[in-house]
Amino acid sequence: MKVYLDGQLVEAADAKISVFDHGLLYGDGIFEGIRIYDGNVFRLEEHLERFEYSAKALLLKMPWSRAEISQAICDTCRANGLNDGYIRLVVTRGKGDLGLSPALCPAPSIFIIADKIALYPPEHYVKGLAIVTVPTRRMNPAALSPAIKSLNYLNNIMAKIEAQQCGALEAIMLNDQGMVAECTGDNVFIVHKGKLYTPSSQQGALKGIIRDAIFDIAKTLNVPIEEHDLTRYDIWNADECFLTGTGAEVIPVVKLDGRQVGSGTPGPIFQQVLEVFREVVRKDGTKF
């Protein structure tokens, strides 16, 4: 496997970064997870825009243009002969000293990995997931905006561990007000009386690229959709629930904390959304 590292495609075994890199020492960096479908990079411009916003929010000055990063991503996909897969784009603050200050990191580092991904076992896409609500809360936006896709994922990792300790593959994370924010690596949607609802980024949701795609798909399907504050009560009383993410794609939820959600099987709106999603991912791509 070839990995793009600071301007070169190198063998994975040679793709090494310094132990003084602040991405490693402090989680000071940003990333994107991007999907390749049928030789196309899905919504590349949208991912790169979110990436630039994350960098700007962290005052991380990137010396590469969007076109250069885009080219590097396409080169990495080609070098690995991938037709379908997953790209991880990472920029770290770069090599510094043992102090926190980014001022002593002269140049950021960039790397791109293109590989395969299978987030959930296939049967869960048919039968649905049983998920749990976990104690670890989503980051308070006043501490660190949940819109920044940074290398600091510790509370999401704690939440993932808590889910696994309950035998679940994914978890609902509440914000510090007790409202539903999202899952550890996915956005959450419910269907209630024929309408789709999802929490806003103010409530702690990442502005997911697939989440955005669901807004477009809902319009195509003539299903009303809006951002709305949600509590667990809303999920208990939802007709349907599903999760979205680049890795997860669109996956139904049929149980929360041991309670059946909706009919206990993937619902009709989920099925329609999934069908259009399958078409959209083959169309909305950048050829490489």
Catalytic residues: 149
Distance of CA 16 to the CA centre of its chain: 24
Nearer to ligand PMP, 108 or 204 (CB): 204
CA–CA separation, 117 vs 130, rounded Å? 21
Cβ 184 to ligand PMP shortest distance, Å:
6
Cβ-Cβ contacts under 8 Å for 33 (sequence gap 6 or more): 86, 87, 88, 245, 246, 247
Nearer to ligand PMP, 136 or 187 (CB): 187
Nearer to ligand PMP, 131 or 209 (CB): 209
147-175 burial, b at 16+ Cβ within 10 Å, e below that, comes to bbbbbbbebbebbbebbeeeebbbbbbbb
- The single-letter code of the amino acid at 42 is F
Cβ 79 to ligand PMP shortest distance, Å:
23
CA–CA separation, 134 vs 206, rounded Å? 18
Cβ 43 to ligand PMP shortest distance, Å:
9
User: Which residue's CB comes closest to ligand PMP?
Assistant: 208
Cβ 235 to ligand PMP shortest distance, Å:
17
10 Å Cβ neighbour count for 268? 12
Nearer to ligand PMP, 208 or 252 (CB): 208
Interacting residues with ligand PMP (CB under 6 A): 33, 156, 182, 185-187, 206, 208-211, 244-247
